[in-house]
Amino acid sequence: MESTILFASVNARVLEKRYSRAVPLEVPRKKTQLREIGIDMFSREERVEYLKKYGNHCMSFSQFQHEMHYFDITGIGYIAYRKKWGRRFVLADPVCHENDREYLLGEFLKDKTDSVFVQVSEPVADLLHEKFALYSSQFGIETIVDLKTWDLKGKKKQILRTAINKAQKEGIRFVELNEGGDYDDALTEKWMRTRRVKKKEVVFLIRTKNQEYQDGTRRFYAFSGDEAVGFIHFDPVYENGKVIGYVPNISRFSPEFKQGIFYPLMVHAIEVFKQEGVPSLYLGISPAAVDATDKPCESKIFKMIVRLLYKFGNYFYSFKGLQFTKSRFQGVEVKTFCSHKEMLPTRSFLTVFHMCNII
């Protein structure tokens, strides 16, 4: 596995050198019928309106992170992407009505630029395969918890109950602090020392803590006495102007608190959301956790590599640990996909890992 990681890192450096020369971002703008099409054309206020109307993917809010660009069509919505080494990497589903997806994607793909779609839902993956001839391969699973029926009962939730009892014995208290407090940086510094990827935080597939737009986020903290020992930042998930759920996107915990604080802090937030009538909790992607069968739209060789990554890649990223943690909440697991042009998208795969700071 170490030789595989070394090979990936060397290839990433070669690609970075080849494409490191800055290329001015083209900002085409045209009108078609009554629509105006452009790149980075919407104002922040206009984009937020589309987000709140159509941003029902767990990563829709994270599309506001740094270095993102947007393919905008007035009256329709937008596609969010990053440019890296000559390709566009689209994050999550298009933000538009589902009936407009084909039109928005068709306009986006007209210029024939190499594009890879990362963490898209199964309906979007099927559309990209059937209408635009892309491979659509499963890249992981997303776990969604129905808060209307969720409780702490069941054998698999024993780990949650045990963690809650330990936290109570230790006198841990949980509070929501959306304003004030200066705990995040100190906890992040301690937490980063325990990570397999120590130099930089993972980005793109996880939004950055300092993302500029954070309206509507919720922040929950765990304290031992006056010391903060953990926090989770939740992003809203929207549909038709309403919050339909939250997704925990940023979480940090003190390595000195051995009992573990993630589970009881999550349960505390769940109880708050339940009381407010929030329908769902989106736990986000578990990368590389894929099923044993293949769909006709999938690249079998790429799917095989993803399975091997899950089995042997925990040396540099905790694929199995992440999936185990999310499975304890007993939510519904849905497939999430990566859509790509090549049968074996080696370069795209390495680029995504490099862009996320994993290699």
Domain boundaries, the chain: 2-142+286-320+333-355, 144-283
Among the residue ranges 13-27, 30-44, 323-337, the one predicted with the least confidence is: 13-27
Pairing of strands 69-73, 77-84: antiparallel
Please name the residue ranges forming H helices in the chain: 2-18, 44-54, 101-109, 122-132, 158-169, 184-192, 262-276, 300-312, 319-327, 346-355
Among the residue ranges 24-28, 85-89, 101-105, 303-307, the one predicted with the least confidence is: 24-28
Are both 2-142+286-320+333-355 and 144-283 of the same fold? yes
Measured in degrees and rounded to the nearest 5, phi and psi for residue 185 equal -65, -40
8 A C-beta contact, residue 259 and residue 170: yes
pLDDT at 113: 92
Among the residue ranges 104-108, 242-246, 299-303, 353-357, the one predicted with the least confidence is: 353-357
| Per-residue pLDDT at 318 exceeds 90 | no
CATH topology of domain 144-283: Aminopeptidase (3.40.630)
More confident residue, 202 or 347: 347
pLDDT at 80: 98
Please state, rounded to an integer, the average pLDDT across all residues of the chain. 87
Q: Is 87 exposed, middle or buried (0-12, 13-18, 19+ CB in 10 A)?
A: buried
Tokens linked to 107? 């306009």
pLDDT at 4: 41
8 A C-beta contact, residue 280 and residue 145: yes
8 A C-beta contact, residue 15 and residue 350: yes
pLDDT band at 11 (very low <50, low <70, confident <90, very high): very low
| Per-residue pLDDT at 201 exceeds 90 | no
Q: Give the single-character DSSP code of 342.
A: S
pLDDT band at 357 (very low <50, low <70, confident <90, very high): confident
Average pLDDT for 185-196: 68
Measure the CA–CA gap between 153 and 119, rounded to whole angstroms.
31
Measure the CA–CA gap between 236 and 62, rounded to whole angstroms.
10
pLDDT at 231: 93
CATH topology of domain 2-142+286-320+333-355: Aminopeptidase (3.40.630)
| Per-residue pLDDT at 9 exceeds 60 | no
Fill in the amino acid letter for 38.
G
CA angle 104, 105, 107 (to 5 degrees): 70
Return the percentage of the chain with pLDDT > 90, whole number: 69
Average pLDDT for 332-336: 97
Among the residue ranges 10-24, 83-97, 249-263, 312-326, the one predicted with the least confidence is: 10-24
Average pLDDT for 191-199: 58
Q: Of 243, 247, 250, whose CA–CA distance to 235 is shortest? A: 247
| Per-residue pLDDT at 10 exceeds 60 | no
DSSP string, 173-211: EEEE-SS----HHHHHHHHHTTSSS-SS---SSS--TT-
pLDDT band at 141 (very low <50, low <70, confident <90, very high): very high
8 A C-beta contact, residue 176 and residue 219: yes
